[in-house]
Structure 1
């Protein structure tokens, strides 16, 4: 175990390297965008990759660490896992199994979007009386956990909902359609290996391919799928900025 700096986005726990030394990994899990590495001794290594963080797996010792290799975990079989993060927006912490649900980064998270318990009724309750836009609401990790900017635009398009619509008006059938769209978009993205932007790759080094299936995201000025309108008149798919993030939508199909 090599700890090559004292902090990432937040300071690393006191005695971090010593506390990880010799620990056996029992399983690897996830909550929202957090990686949960369950360790022997009822403790969890809680990780977030941030915007540019990567877990790089290799064989043999790391003889020449790269500039942004901040944490290097060495395994009994001679392999290693490097946490590489150029921007240092990622984080790592150690938390007890019993304390995970109370951790400051976990306790406020909303339901998992692919959980069968996440239904239209559940979403409608969490959106009730919210005056913010529906796009901002489903990006709020307290409403539903783990939805990113690209998939929010894609899900709203499939559900036929304007990203500018007030969240509180997404009730009943609208909420049911949105939940179904969220689940479908995420399931298809996972099957396609995600969306490769910049240097994102899968665990086997292959690119994700869901970006080739985007209906609206980064298609400004183009016709949306199965479009029947004259884009010379309508202008096609539009782009706007919400909360500092790009939103792509079809004003004709999304209301």
Structure 2
């Protein structure tokens, strides 16, 4: 599924282009994970002020209210002056004076939800329990350590949970743990302050590099302008089971954690 870097790449690819646009019409396809929360006609005439991100949610600020957009498992956004006619997997389309914003989602786990503000119940339900933003100044290493000390689960699972730090999905959790030299099965509570500091830096480094590479295109991800990502070509462990570690030459191993594949080097990540 699209993870934080892919969502940030998507945001960057259309945020400036849509800013200041007036909504002319909104079309809905098949039902998504959650309902829009208002009549589509209520959005007509509103102006797009900016596009932000919170975790894996895109926040499209309007002159009144906002849209919270989630890409789900297989969703992608397109924004262009003109697009082909909507297809069977196109479930949300917003025509604006600057172009067409469209959500394509074959599996329909994504969503577009309207809220009057971030304090509205609809927004708080989706955003209220999210952890610290790893690419912001709010990602405080002391708070990160305190959050991990309260969790006895495996560190990989705690990173994926999103309540301590948000958006570190499956690919980037494996990569960050490798960079920090931490075994993914180690209890989060057992990490010392120096190791937490190393993981904190590794998470930021991996996510920043992933954004710079346009994210990871494993199946069909592309930005709102149709560009693929290339971070997967630089992955140290993810998707490399049986291949030699790029650092020590030991074969990369994989295991299942929470029904997700985890990749690690048994030599570089001994504990």
Q: Same fold (TM over 0.5)?
A: yes
Unaligned runs of 5+ in 2: 1-24
Judge conservation of contact 2:248–2:267 (CA < 8 Å) in 1: no
Selected match of 2:51 from 24, 28, 36 = 28
Residue by residue, what CA displacement relative to the aligned partner does 1:18-51 show, whole Å, maximum 9, x if unpaired? 121111001110100000000012x111110111
Any idea what SS the aligned residue of 2:205 has?
A: helix
Which has the higher mean CA deviation after the structures are superposed, 67-76 or 1-10? 1-10
Q: Does 1:4 align with 2:28?
A: yes
Q: How does 1:59-74 map to 2 (within 5 A)?
A: 59-60=81-82, 64-74=85-95
Q: Does 1:128 align with 2:152?
A: no
Selected match of 1:90 from 110, 135, 156 = 110
C-alpha distance in 2 between matches for 1:44 and 1:133: 36
Partner of 2:16: none
Query: Residue 100 of structure 1: CA displacement?
Result: 5.3
Unaligned runs of 5+ in 1: none
Residues 204 and 58 of structure 1: CA distance in aligned 2, closer, same or farther (over 3 Å) = closer
Residues 98 and 30 of structure 1: CA distance in aligned 2, closer, same or farther (over 3 Å) = closer
Partner of 2:70: 48
Judge conservation of contact 2:77–2:223 (CA < 8 Å) in 1: no
C-alpha distance in 2 between matches for 1:37 and 1:238: 40
Higher radius of gyration, 1 or 2 = 1
Q: Name the structure, 1 or 2, with higher relative contact order (CA <8 Å, separation 6+).
A: 2
Residue by residue, what CA displacement relative to the aligned partner does 1:77-112 show, whole Å, maximum 9, x if unpaired? 4x3111111111001111123515961010000000
Any idea what SS the aligned residue of 2:127 has?
A: coil
Partner of 2:134: 113
Query: Residue 202 of structure 1: CA displacement?
Result: 2.6
Partner of 1:18: 41
Query: Residue 121 of structure 1: CA displacement?
Result: 1.6
Query: Residue 195 of structure 1: CA displacement?
Result: 0.8
Judge conservation of contact 1:130–1:168 (CA < 8 Å) in 2: yes
Runs of 4+ more than 6 Å apart: none
Higher helix share: 2
The number of equivalent residue pairs is 245
Judge conservation of contact 1:6–1:12 (CA < 8 Å) in 2: no
Any idea what SS the aligned residue of 1:104 has?
A: helix
Task: Output the TM-score relative to the length of structure 2.
Answer: 0.85
C-alpha distance in 2 between matches for 1:170 and 1:112: 20
Q: Does 1:246 align with 2:261?
A: yes
Any idea what SS the aligned residue of 1:105 has?
A: helix
Query: Residue 123 of structure 1: CA displacement?
Result: 1.1
Task: Output the TM-score relative to the length of structure 1.
Answer: 0.90
